[in-house]
Structure 1
């Protein structure tokens, strides 16, 4: 009887702790949502209070000011193509580094792993200076190329460890049946990399979609700005429209939430399968 009571209290304590952690996690999002319906003075005076009225005019103003439609398309294009090229090139590179036992491959892999510890801020100034002088900035294509350069190391590192566990006998059987190396990779190996691919896709989608620093350095013109850059319209040198900015942040969050709810089962399945592997 005493053991059952002890287990019951343990469950209650764990439940309370989980509720507190959830409240701490959700509080910033609720604060943004609540203040997106308030006037600017009301936000400054009491940001923790409920809005006196749920006014959607701030969302309309944010939608127009940040040119939401164009910014959304830019963010979608940059995110989809960036994540796609990172996954394709990183998986192919990792496969090459694992299956071809060249001495230089170890050096290449260790160099890529070492590059992961270098923060972007350390190369930011020379990066902008060099590429700006040769006219390669202010292009969505170049931004995708830069994301490939900065994201390929981590993705290759994750794929490299997983490909080692793929039985080489499956590839040899496919080659005996007449498959080329590309067919072996895309039809035999790549389907087995789904857990790692799901993990990389989640991490990179969140990274690219929410990134502000790199696009702010590369994209200058208003017509190529992504959603995070568009939210900067509401912050001037001396003033800030906090309420409209909060509405803009909610608009930026909506596509990510839709992506998560649509892909929720696949995301969780991929993570669980990767953990079991």
Structure 2
């Protein structure tokens, strides 16, 4: 993503999450504070996006929105709910096991730092300069500032993660650290992905990594085209040319061991079925934990 532009991917994730959690069958799986965070966030977005706050609050428009989204790319909506739900659980699990520092790569408008950062766990949200500026404004305007939650500007295509974080007064390379890469590596080239993994490895010897992966080859041609063209329409590009097996091998090549894998089918069977909704989770979507 360009370092001087709003991430429309991050914006639409927030919009979709807000709209979907208005349905109690989905919303009951998230705290009121988290739902209010995204409601306020949608209101904060530029006017050509913030109108969704009012329109999606109405059942008719929300149903129309869901139907149109499902027609173009079945499972895209519920994959957003699932990634937020399971990543929250995985972060909580990591914190309970002694993680005391969390770095959110390509953080966008992620909410976890606001609610989970405390004197025992420091959060660092990493994103492009413009997105950092936008998030800082949002956190300030809605009273979400947290002294243990830091928002740091970096363009990973041009800058070294080590240089940025080691110069931050509150970052400690000796702490057990969790890196969260939600919707991050998919937008990087293979060479940049390798560089970031090497930087993480040298930065914090004691760490684990949670990442999402879109294995696009699992979608049929029409839905794969719909996904990639939709990303392109908002000025972004999926760059990582790896399927699931190749990505796991890449991680092994960088001394990572797969600890946990949550597939789209598991998400459907576990979370979606509990809501009673007849909405799929997008094929090819995975959440992976490495150490």
Q: TM-score, normalised by structure 2?
A: 0.26
**Higher normalized helix content (fraction of residues):** 1
By percentage of residues, which structure has more strand?
Answer: 2
Between the two structures, name the one with larger relative contact order (CA 8 Å, sep ≥ 6).
1
- Rg comparison, structure with higher value: 1
